[in-house]
Structure 1
């Protein structure tokens, strides 16, 4: 299991705004808007037991900001500053959280240029694109294709027998401190989430980029190959030497994601899902 990357504090400044949105369960989701006054907006989703304030979420938002593209990074319910209790699994519910964020910015007459997700967030943005079909570009960074893998590393080899016997497994850190509880229900939520089916159900008009590090020890690079086989309109980019969080390859990651997003923004990005979205009061990005 790869060690966690260091926390990156919120950057202070007039361009960074704290924004709260309520999800369908009434929980407050907290995010940071990197505001450039562009009409288009990129939404960035974090991974498992992570937050909006960790790499690569902050670095990606900063990279978009430097290009004049507004970006919003937020915490899923039960993570970071957002309300709610942390739940293992929760892929589809986090896609619903993302839906609340998208609808909020549609109401503010913003064009959602791309949704970006890292690790588990990569699965969430793909599930979102499959379910709601209202985005034209998705970036999956280090997502896991086979959700049956990677469980033993956290829960132990006998996790199925143990959870059947006890009804739950408490996960502890290396110092023995309790981190979170996995119930049989939450485990089944993960195991019954059909990533292959979701990928195949993404509309062909939706462009998908998968970026993966060749030295990712948490999610094998072979998973990225499976996304390439199953997503209709897909581009795959492997970054040589990069780990799961692209710790020493942040510039390469940002460059790959920016290049992909700019393709859509050079085109007719005014074709919004919501017909009420207008460019009034906004300026365009520096593309």
Structure 2
């Protein structure tokens, strides 16, 4: 098993930086972080490590404008500007990741999202209909505000 950094360009030519937990399996699960989070969020990392232990490859990435910032240098790996909301933009980021992984001789077998990411994976699935296993972990439920 190895951890591999993979950068994907979204449809706005912004870099989305992610990490593939590669077990050698062709199938891969995409794991999406929640509101103002990133690929280094403990729950996201723990989930990917658990999948890896079961022999399942997993890919975690920062949505555009997200990811943790190094305080002193204000460095973020992925491109883009953070904004409140952005559900459809993030669904399109998932689309770019799916296209990239499928084009790299992988098969995206599932998408998992935590909190806000849970809603984004549902939005993606309702638009594209190409991934049949969609997991919403603690997705936001009252979006009126």
**Normalization by structure 2: what TM-score?**
0.91
Compute the displacement of 1:113 (Å).
Answer: 1.2
Equivalent position of 1:139 in the other structure: 135
Report deviation, 1:146: 2.2
Separation in 1, partners of 2:21, 2:51? 8
- Runs of 4 or more, structure 1, over 3 Å off, are none
Q: Distance in 2 between matches of 1:60 and 1:113?
A: 15
**1:63 and 2:59 matched:** no
Deviation at 1:108, TM superposition (A): 1.0
How far has the Cα of 1:145 moved from its partner? 2.3
Residues 191-230 of structure 1: matches in 2 within 5 Å? none
Matches within 5 A, 1:25-36: 25-36=12-23
The unaligned stretches of length 5 or more in structure 1 are: 1-13, 152-287
The CA distance in 2 between the partners of 1:101 and 1:130, in whole Å, is 17
- Deviation string 1:30-52 (CA, Å, 9 cap, x unpaired) is 00000011011000000110001
Q: Match of 1:38?
A: 25
Per the TM alignment, residue 26 of structure 1 is displaced from its structure 2 partner at its CA by: 0.5
- Tell me what 1:73 maps to: 60
More strand per residue: 1 or 2?
2
Within 2, Cα distance between the matches of 1:145 and 1:62? Answer: 27
* Correspondence for 2:72: none
Q: Higher relative contact order at CA 8 Å, sep ≥6: structure 1 or structure 2?
A: 2
Q: Does 1:17 align with 2:7?
A: no
| Mapping for residues 56-205 of structure 1, pairs under 5 Å | 56-80=43-67, 81-148=77-144, 151=145
Alignment partners' CA distance in 2, 1:62 and 1:129: 24
Of 105-114 and 19-28, deviating more is 105-114
- State the TM-score, normalized to the length of structure 1: 0.47
**Highest CA radius of gyration, 1 or 2?**
1
Aligned to 2:74: none
The alpha-carbon deviation at position 141 of structure 1 amounts to 0.4
Aligned residue for 1:56, secondary structure, equals helix
